[in-house]
């Protein structure tokens, strides 16, 4: 019997790659995204099912989980991958943008976990896999709000893992570093829409971010998809999954170096030449 895995945010990037890798690993994947048409091409009978899900919508969360359980009678893993970020200085982050980031990156995953955990407890097995970020360990200028959501998700997941592990369940953290996705481009678009002053006091940071994103750096999303597969299906999953190597290096640096040195490096790096 194939393990059933529910994945959010599968229209592009890490989520779409995770669907392909989970399918290849033998899972029956329930792929979700806010717009059903954006993932229609992923559907494959007996291997990938597609449902519309806005993780910030309580009614949709409940309906999707109920449908999965009605169809399959169980759920072996939940992958909370959907995320939202806006590249904004803290001073220029509107309250509605802050709330949207928390609704998508923290409250949505929390509520989905609450919906699936009772079934997993009855099964005696199950995984909640939360896609956080190295930004949940090291806070970056212009991403203060986004980083704060990833710090929160990391804390929530670690507590959850300690709570559910004695029950035969696990909660895991996927913590990507720089991955080649549309996140940076979308974040800059959101910044402009939110009224960021690109010529104001934080202008050098915005321009530097724009330059770096245009370079198109970062590892392929498959690097993270492989870690998601391990967290969902391995007999002994880990709590932390970092990728690529620079994400692990950043975490080690955070533990070994004083905050003052890391903060200086951040300012110097973003100011550029």
* Cis peptide leading into residue 118 (ω within 30°): no
Catalytic site includes residue 146:
yes
Nearest Cα neighbor of 173 from 162, 158, 185 is 158
**Half-sphere exposure at residue 150, Cβ-oriented, CA atoms within 13 angstroms:** 25
**3-state SS assignment for residue 174:** strand
CA distance linking residue 57 with residue 180, whole number of Å = 28
CB-side neighbour CA atoms (13 Å) of 235: 0
Selected catalytic residue, list 84, 102, 146, 241: 146
Number of other residues whose CB lies within 10 A of the CB of residue 123:
14
Give 142's DSSP letter: T
Is residue 183 classed exposed, middle or buried when 0-12, 13-18 and 19+ CB atoms within 10 A define those classes?
A: buried
- Let me know: does 11 contact 35? Beta carbons within 8 Å: yes
Contact 265, 245 (CB under 8 A): no
Q: Tell me which residues are annotated as active site.
A: 146
């Amino acid at each position: 019997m194939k393990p059933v895995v529910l994945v959010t945010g599968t229209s592009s990037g890490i989520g779409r790659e995770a669907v392909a890798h989970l399918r290849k690993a033998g899972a029956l994947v329930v792929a979700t995204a806010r717009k059903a048409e954006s993932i229609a091409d992923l559907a494959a009978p007996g291997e990938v099912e597609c449902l519309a899900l806005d993780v910030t919508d309580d009614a949709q969360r409940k309906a999707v989980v109920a449908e999965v359980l009605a169809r399959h009678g169980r759920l072996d893993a939940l992958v909370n991958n959907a995320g939202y970020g806006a590249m904004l200085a803290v001073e220029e982050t509107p309250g509605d943008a802050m709330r949207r980031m928390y609704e998508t990156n923290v409250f949505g995953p929390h509520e989905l976990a609450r919906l699936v955990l009772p079934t997993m407890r009855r099964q005696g097995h199950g995984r909640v896999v939360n896609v956080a970020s190295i930004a949940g360990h090291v806070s970056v200028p212009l991403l203060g709000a986004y980083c704060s959501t990833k710090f929160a998700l990391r804390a929530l997941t670690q507590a959850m893992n300690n709570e559910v592990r004695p029950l035969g369940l696990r909660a895991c953290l996927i913590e990507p570093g720089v991955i080649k996705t549309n996140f940076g481009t979308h974040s800059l678009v959101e910044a402009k829409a939110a009224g960021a002053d690109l010529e104001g006091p934080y202008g050098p940071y915005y321009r530097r971010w724009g330059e770096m994103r245009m370079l198109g750096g970062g590892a392929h999303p498959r690097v993270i998809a492989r870690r998601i597969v391990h967290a969902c299906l391995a007999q002994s999953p880990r709590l932390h999954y970092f990728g690529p190597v620079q994400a692990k290096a950043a975490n080690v640096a955070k533990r070994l170096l004083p905050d003052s040195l890391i903060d200086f490096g951040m300012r110097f790096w973003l100011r550029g030449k």
